[in-house]
Amino acid sequence: MNKLEVHEVRKTFGKKNILNEIRFSCSTGEIIGIFGRNGSGKSSLLKILFGTLKTERLRFEINEAKLERSHRWGSSVIIKNQLIGYVPQFSFLPQSLKVWDVIPLYFPNGTDQDKIFNSPRLSTVADQKIGTLSIGERRYLELLLVGNLDHPFLLLDEPFSMVEPLYKEVIHDFLIELKSKKGIILTDHYYHDVWKIADRKMVLKDGILEPVQELKDLVALGYLRSI
C-alpha cells in the first residue's frame, strides 16, 4: 500500500496565482478525480507533481519520504526513481514507430510484451504507425504502456477527451483493474466519465482544491452551469 501526500504547492504565472492551497492525498486503490475550468491549473499541478514544471513551493511525501523539487536542472527525483507515471494530454509516443516497435521500447521482457499485445482491441492496430492511430486508439495505447509500468502512482491528463464511447469503456475497465496496484489521479472535462470512475472528487478553483461529494457541488463551485 503506497500513499502520496501533497502538503503544499504554490505556482504563479507572472502575477497570476494559479495554485495556492493544494492539500490532498492518494493511496493505492484510489482514483482521485480533479475538475476545474480551463486555465485553473489542473495540468500544471500534474506536471509539478511529475517534476517537469518548476514551482515556487512544493512539499509532498510518498510513503512518508519527503520529496522536494530538485535544484539540479533536469534531474527530477520522481522521474529518476519512477515513483509516478504521467500520461499528458498531448501525444508523446514516437510518431514514426509502429505499435509493435513501441511496446518493446517500454517492455524489454517478452512476457510483459505479450501482456500488452493481448490487451483488448490492441491486435487490430499492432502493425500501424503511431502517427496514423485515431485519438482513441492512441490514448488507449498510451494508457496501457504507462499504466503497466511499475510506478506506484499514475497521473492522467484528459484520458477520455475525444475518445469514442467503446474505447472509453475499455479505458474505464482498464483503470478500475489498475487501481488495485496504483493510486491514480486524473483530470478531464468529460466529467461524467470522471465522476463514474473516481472514488474521491475535487474541484480546483482560484488556486484552491475543494473536495466535492455530489454533482450539484460542481454547480455550486462554478464548474458547471447546471446538471
Partner 1 sequence: MFRYYLDVTKFALAFSILCIPFLGFITGILVFGLAGTPIGLIGYSQFHKTEYYTYFNLGFTRRKLIISTWVFNILAMIPLFLIYLLGNFLFKMIYHE
Q: Summarize as ranges the residues that interact with partner 1 (CB under 8 A).
A: 50, 52, 72-76, 79-82, 85-86, 88, 90-94, 97, 105-106, 145-146, 149, 151
Compare residues 74 and 165 and give the one whose CB is closer to partner 1.
74
- CB closer to partner 1, 153 vs 223: 153
For partner 1, the closer CB: 107 or 160: 107
Q: How far is the CB of 152 from partner 1 (least distance, A)?
A: 13
| 17/128 with CB nearer partner 1 | 128
Shortest distance in whole angstroms from residue 210 CB to partner 1: 29
Angle at which helix 165-178 crosses helix 135-147, to 10 degrees, equals 10
The least distance separating partner 1 from the CB of residue 178, rounded to whole angstroms, comes to 15
Residues near 154 by beta carbon (within 8 Å), at least 6 away in sequence: 84, 85, 86, 87, 146, 147, 178, 182, 183, 184, 185
Q: 20 near 14, Cβ under 8 Å?
A: no
94 or 120, CB closer to partner 1?
A: 94
Nearest approach in angstroms of CB 220 to partner 1 is 35
List phi, psi (to 5°) of 142: -60, -45
Q: Kindly state the smallest distance separating residue 108's Cβ from partner 1, in Å.
A: 10
- If phi > 0 it is left, if psi is from -120 to 50 it is alpha, else beta; for residue 85 that is beta
Instruction: Please identify, using beta-carbon distances, which residue of 49 and 212 lies nearer to partner 1.
Output: 49
Instruction: Kindly state the smallest distance separating residue 78's Cβ from partner 1, in Å.
Output: 9
Q: What is the three-class DSSP state of 54?
A: coil
